[in-house]
Amino acid sequence: MAHLADAELVVGWRLRSILSAPGAPIAAYDQDAWASHGQYAKRDPRKSLERFRILREANLELIKSLSPEQRKQFGLHSERGEESIERLTMLIAGHDINHLEQIQRILAKKR
């Protein structure tokens, strides 16, 4: 959950960077380093879930307000190249599903 919350923070920054300066560079980040230095294992999952929910709500509100032209704007990801707001939106949706399924598998093993 901590990873999802931080990833949503990154997505929000990327969306806003692209909108304010189309073609802006989008830096990759080391999610394992963030997990280690951010002490994800010690974080309260409920608080991380609430942080994720709040950030996602804000990002969805922004995305819904965009025109079709704005959704086509892109930044230049340091590893993946051109990444439009449309593509970023699809990536975050799939990212969540993947991790939610992982969480379900982990919880099922503990039962």
Domains of the chain: residue spans and CATH: 2-110 (1.20.120.450)
Q: Provide the pLDDT for residue 96.
A: 86
Angle 54-56-58 (CA atoms, 0-180°, nearest 5)?
70
Using 50, 70 and 90 to split pLDDT, how confident is the model at 79? very high
What is the per-residue pLDDT across 42-71, written as a single tens digit (0 to 9) for each? 999 999 999 999 999 999 999 999 999 999
Token couple for 90: 């699809």
User: Of 33, 52, 50, whose CA–CA distance to 99 is shortest?
Assistant: 52
Q: Would you say 12 and 55 are in contact if contact means Cβ atoms under 8 Å apart?
A: yes
